[in-house]
Amino acid sequence: MELKYLFKPSTMAVIGVSTSQDNHPANVIYTKNHLRYPVKTFPVNPKGGTLHREKLYQSVFDIEERIDMAVIAVRAEFVPKVMEDCIKKGIRGAVIVSGGFAEAGNTVLQQQVVDIAREAAFPFIGPNCLGIYAPDYVDTFFLPGERIIRPEKGNVGFVSQSGGVLVDQMVKFAGQGIGVSLAVSIGNKAFIRETDMLDWFAKDIETKVIAFYVEGFEKGEGRRFIQKTEQCGKPVVILKAGKSKKGIEAVSSHTASLAGDYRVFSEIMKQHCVAEADNEYELTSFCEALSCFQKGINGNIGVLSLSGGHGVIAVDACELHGLSVPRLDPKTMVTIREKVSPEIRNIISLGNPLDLTGSSVDNDIVVTATYLARDKAVECLLCLLIPYSPGVSADIGAKLSQVARNEGKPMIAYVPNEEKYRIIIEGFELNDIPVASSVEGAVLMAKALKRCRPC
Amino acid sequence: MLKNKIRTIIDAHKDLGWVLEPDAKAIMKSQGLDIPEFVLTDSFEKAEKFLKKINGPVVAKAVSKKILHKTEHQAVVTGITSGDHLKKEIERLKRLDGCEAILVEEMVQGLEVIIGAKNDFQFGPVVVFGIGGTSVEIYNDTAIRMAPIKPDDVSSMAASLKAKALLSGYRGKAGVNMEILTHTLVKFSQLIMALEDDMESLDLNPVICTKDRCIIADARIILKTA
């Protein structure tokens, strides 16, 4: 099944635009795409006439051009007929934003739509969804552009069962400078489901990490999902909602009561290297880390800080999140002591965490990071870079990024998220080093790398 | 594909909804898993002969279609060493509801673990492994993996337990034979894949692990309701 016409359409029909309500979902979708996206967009309403001086098409058959994708925003009971028209017209897929299907108890109507689509091999997203945000291509979210915050184009693919969670996550991604390749709200997921999206993302060269917000799978679908994540070869992050223990009917065996639904889910994700995020903050941190580094680690962290307190906080957080802060090779410590400036040689704390103190200068930090990275016990560097001391220059982000690249080990930075330090943050981020806005956030990023390893 | 023997046992228990212990153990044995030496009888004489042959403590249990959880019905007696004790308990067990026969088995000492399976709605058959015994639900020190599992999964399951030190040996006590435990769990995971259409959940609890063996001391298979 070909999904490129859905996610990278050149032409799109928006079916169900209102002639009287400018804030009707279909109108919002039509307007934003017509004005701001490269996709050529055609509004459809059986009444015909004009909409803002543009031609309003009475049906898809009146559009002369070939149409790649349709947004269907008509009342639920009209959807089957509209979909049949789309299929006849040769449209290659649809987003059904309309609600009033299974979520409202109308499973028969939903099944009717699915049957029509299956017979014609006509993929659709939804119903009851926001649909697709594909930067540079199309945006079917029926939310006015001025109301939402969209992340830049990037390499995270995100799929959500909930439209609200998706939009909110977009805001968080944008705030952390995480870009998306494609974000899809799959709603009732009557046709396109998580497993189909895995197939798409596996082949999509613009996507390096795939994230999901999932409430539940169908019978046996969890197993298929796991099989596909293994085939796909890209890191997968998942946030599961609905974790509370459901009453298990007729608990007649110990095992059934020990293995509640969520425990099974969570342990299997670990078994198969799917990075399960405990909450939305972890989801954001995991995506940011994995968008920079796709290879997992066993969890051995080297902590470099310019303040003793930050080092200790980081070590505590590492322990809380199941990461190790290993002892360094004595040779590493001897070398670092030799290489740093004489002024700080006797005041630094050598070990892990390693505290260079507020008297250190750029070169001390760079040299120390280099030898820390060369220590065999360390798999990933946490650089807690508080930029308050005068010896730290604005170039430190870019300089440390080069160390990570030269030494071939992942590095994660903490820099306070303030406009004043933007140049340092960008020095890291533009060089593919993720930056957290808290020490714990940096530790969560390291946890993401560990979660991508078999447990 | 299920072996014919297993198929026959499963089909014979469909109406009951679960497989009786001696039959569940027969299934495990046919899969190459270790079960205790036993005698299934209603005669004290045969039981006593078995006790003498074993020359060590035995366990006596009531086999009843009406008793799913034996401990709760006082249907298990451990540590029987004398003929008198055996006789008294057999007579008592026979009076329990629906008792069809008495299962007398060699009693093995070692670390009690649980090896279980659940046919999960989303993921299909999953293996549960952890510290076993009658308090298993209180501690819930278990790990879960999607079946079938690989030897590496067994290592990671063991490593994830709070009581992992008990497996490797603690305070001078011998640890568990990890090679045999791994074999047991891997074989078990293959069996539950074959039972996917029939099984709802399955308890091997306890499985007694020593430095030489992993012996299934109790087994119960809950079948899917039609």
Confidence of residue A248 (pLDDT cuts 50, 70, 90): very low
A309 contacts: CB under 8 Å, gap ≥ 6:
none
Confidence of residue A251 (pLDDT cuts 50, 70, 90): low
Nearest-by-CA chain B residue for A266? B144
Number of domains in chain B: 2
* Mean pLDDT score across all residues of chain B: 94
Confidence of residue A258 (pLDDT cuts 50, 70, 90): confident
Task: Give yes or no: residues B81 and B114 share one domain.
Answer: no
Task: Give yes or no: residues B149 and B90 share one domain.
Answer: no
Give the gap in angstroms from C-alpha A224 to the nearest C-alpha of chain B.
8
* Contact (CB<8Å) B137/A265: no
Which residue, of B83, B106, B129, is where some domain finishes? Answer: B106
Confidence of residue A278 (pLDDT cuts 50, 70, 90): very high
* Contact (CB<8Å) A253/B114: no
Give the gap in angstroms from C-alpha A455 to the nearest C-alpha of chain B.
6
* Inter-residue contact A131 to A95 (CB < 8 Å): yes
Task: Give yes or no: residues B60 and B116 share one domain.
Answer: no
Q: Which of B66, B127, B128 to mutate to test the interface with A (most CBs of A within 10 A)?
A: B128
Of the candidates B194, B189, B184, B118, which has an alpha carbon nearest to the alpha carbon of residue A265? Answer: B118
* Contact (CB<8Å) A267/B220: no
Task: Give yes or no: residues B92 and B173 share one domain.
Answer: no
User: Which runs of consecutive H residues, i.e. helices, occur in A300-436?
Assistant: 308-320, 330-339, 342-345, 362-374, 396-407, 422-429
* Contact (CB<8Å) A252/B152: no
* Contact (CB<8Å) A271/B120: no
User: Is pLDDT at A254 greater than 80 in this prediction?
Assistant: no
Give the gap in angstroms from C-alpha B54 to the nearest C-alpha of chain A.
30
How far apart CA B59 and CA A386 sit, in angstroms, is: 67
Residue A357: predicted pLDDT:
95
Nearest to B153 among A220, A252, A271 (CB): A271
CATH number, domain of B116, equals 3.30.470.20
Task: Give yes or no: residues B207 and B119 share one domain.
Answer: yes
| Paired strand residues for B159 | none
Confidence of residue A454 (pLDDT cuts 50, 70, 90): low
Task: Give yes or no: residues B51 and B66 share one domain.
Answer: yes
Task: Give yes or no: residues B102 and B9 share one domain.
Answer: no
DSSP string, A222-280: HHHHHHHHHHH-S-EEEEE---SPPPPTT--SHHHHHS-HHHHHHHHHHHTT-EEESSH
* Beta carbons within 10 angstroms of residue A82's beta carbon: 25
Summarize the confidence of residues A325-347 as an average pLDDT.
Answer: 97
Residue whose pair of structure tokens reads 């007649």 in the numeric block: A252
Summarize the confidence of residues A372-401 as an average pLDDT.
Answer: 96
Enumerate residue ranges in chain B where pLDDT < 50.
Answer: none
Nearest to A253 among B152, B156, B220 (CB): B220
Summarize the confidence of residues A377-385 as an average pLDDT.
Answer: 97
Which residue, of B80, B106, B132, is where some domain finishes? Answer: B106
* Contact (CB<8Å) B118/A256: yes
User: Is pLDDT at A219 greater than 50 in this prediction?
Assistant: yes
* Contact (CB<8Å) A223/B130: no
How far apart CA A20 and CA A68 sit, in angstroms, is: 27
Residue B1: predicted pLDDT:
63
Distances (CA, A) of A137 to A36, A37, A207, A441: 10, 6, 15, 32
Nearest to B140 among A220, A258, A272 (CB): A258
pLDDT in tens, B7-63: 999 999 999 999 999 999 999 999 999 999 999 999 999 999 999 999 989 999 999
* Beta carbons within 10 angstroms of residue B179's beta carbon: 11
User: Which comes out higher in pLDDT, residue A251 or A281?
Assistant: A281
Which residue, of B106, B130, B157, is where some domain finishes? Answer: B106
* Mean pLDDT score across all residues of chain A: 94
Task: Supply angle C-alpha B166, A272, A250, rounded to 5.
Answer: 70
Summarize the confidence of residues A417-427 as an average pLDDT.
Answer: 95
Task: Give yes or no: residues B45 and B141 share one domain.
Answer: no
* Contact (CB<8Å) B116/A218: no
Summarize the confidence of residues A296-302 as an average pLDDT.
Answer: 96
Q: Given 3-state DSSP classes, what are the helix, strand and coil percentages for chain A, each rounded to the nearest 5?
A: 40, 15, 40
Summarize the confidence of residues A248-275 as an average pLDDT.
Answer: 81
Residue B9: predicted pLDDT:
95
Residue numbers of the domain that contains B199: 4-34+109-223
* Contact (CB<8Å) A222/B120: yes
Confidence of residue A406 (pLDDT cuts 50, 70, 90): very high
Confidence of residue A82 (pLDDT cuts 50, 70, 90): very high
Residues of A in contact with B220 (CB under 8 A): 253
Task: Give yes or no: residues B198 and B186 share one domain.
Answer: yes
Residue A243: predicted pLDDT:
79
Nearest to A219 among B121, B126, B160 (CB): B121
How far apart CA A159 and CA A129 sit, in angstroms, is: 11
Residue A84: predicted pLDDT:
98
Q: Is A138 helix (H, G, I), strand (E, B) or coil?
A: strand
Task: Give yes or no: residues B205 and B168 share one domain.
Answer: yes
| Paired strand residues for A156 | A180, A209
| ipTM entry | 0.91
Return the exposure string of A107-135: e unless at least 16 CB atoms fall within 10 Å of the residue's CB, then b. Answer: eebbeebbebbeeeebbbbbbbbbbbbbb
Summarize the confidence of residues A28-46 as an average pLDDT.
Answer: 96
Task: Give yes or no: residues B122 and B219 share one domain.
Answer: yes
Residue A247: predicted pLDDT:
44
Nearest to A226 among B68, B116, B146 (CB): B146
Residues of B in contact with A245 (CB under 8 A): none
Summarize the confidence of residues A310-330 as an average pLDDT.
Answer: 97
What is the 8-class DSSP label of residue B69?
A: S
* Contact (CB<8Å) A253/B137: no
CATH number, domain of B43, equals 3.30.1490.20
pLDDT in tens, B190-199: 999 999 999 9
Interface of A with B (CB under 8 A): 216-223, 226, 252-259, 261, 263-265, 267-268, 271-272, 454-455
How far apart CA A400 and CA A373 sit, in angstroms, is: 11
Task: Give yes or no: residues B132 and B23 share one domain.
Answer: yes
* Inter-residue contact A443 to A382 (CB < 8 Å): yes
Confidence of residue A400 (pLDDT cuts 50, 70, 90): very high
Residues of B in contact with A223 (CB under 8 A): 122-124, 146
